[in-house]
Structure 1
Amino acid sequence: MAFPDRIERTIEIAHPPAKVWAALTTAEGLSAWFGNEAAIDLRQGGTAWMKWDGGHTADMRVERVEEPTVFGFTWRMAELSEDDPRRTYVEFTLEPVGTGTRLTVVETGFAQLADEVYRKEYDGHTEGWARELGELVDYLDAAA
């Protein structure tokens, strides 16, 4: 049986696309809702990173920037070694709806993993996106 390779979440946010875009694509925005510290070189091929309290880090490569509608990056999965070349691809799509934004996040690339790593990564990222998108909304609402 083939494993699911895709996690997709769509939420509607009561803030305009420009505000959501800034939260997704700036160091200030990312460090306010996603990590505790962040840096980003917002251009295709640029690097980005996030750090969390407790020592977890995520190194990313910016793959797609179509301001203000599409932002995509690749990142290493935590269960794989630092030198493992496999990555998942995360893409945010922003669509204006009324006075707000419909935000869709899609993460793909899980099917490349061995069984023992797949379940932990897929389940962890599925739970993680639900939590992180809630934190994004909380951040945007508090900054309003």
Structure 2
Amino acid sequence: MTFPDRIERTLQLAHPPEKVWAALTTAEGLGTWFGNRAEVDLRVGGQATLIWDSGDTATLTIKRLEPPRVFGYSWPVNGLPDGDPRRTYVEFTLEPDGAGTTLTMVESGFAQVADAEAHSTAFDGNTKGWLSELGELVAYLDGQA
């Protein structure tokens, strides 16, 4: 049986790439729309830690950094036990579009989870999560206008 491997979303944003880039890559930006606080070591191999008021955390390892166009990181697969070495890869691509930006987000690597229930937890959870989080990104950007 083949499982879906990637989630892809494209947004048209009414903000220039530099502003979108800052929202994706700074502690202030990430800590507002993608968590409640964040710490960011912005370099390939660096990490970003997202912290929620609930006590949950997520650690991202930066894999690709091409300012202000491409930001990519790996992170643990949703629903797998702590310490599981499998990761998905998330990449944001920013393209200027008039006065705004076309933002494409792709998360891949779900096919490495062969168990149907674990795959469903990871893939469905992140599909719903990105819908919510990208909505929060838009609200954050629009609130800064």
Provide TM-score, normalisation by structure 2: 0.96
Other structure's SS at 1:75 match: strand
**1:14 maps to what in 2?**
14
CA RMSD in angstroms comes to: 0.8
1:43-122 residue pairs with structure 2 within 5 A? 43-113=43-113, 114-122=115-123
Other structure's SS at 2:49 match: strand
Other structure's SS at 1:68 match: coil
Q: CA deviation at 1:104?
A: 0.3
Distance 1:68 1:59 in 2: 22
Count matched residues: 144
**1:143 maps to what in 2?**
144
**1:5 maps to what in 2?**
5
**1:38 maps to what in 2?**
38
Other structure's SS at 2:8 match: strand
Q: CA deviation at 1:116?
A: 1.7
Q: CA deviation at 1:78?
A: 3.2
Task: In structure 2, list runs of 5 or more residues that go unmatched.
Answer: none
Q: CA deviation at 1:119?
A: 0.2
Q: Deviations over 1:47-95 (max 9, x none)?
A: 1110112121101100000000000000012311221110000000000
Task: In structure 1, list runs of 5 or more residues that go unmatched.
Answer: none
Distance 2:139 2:125 in 1: 21
CA contact (8 A) 2:13 2:100 kept: yes
Distance 1:53 1:2 in 2: 37
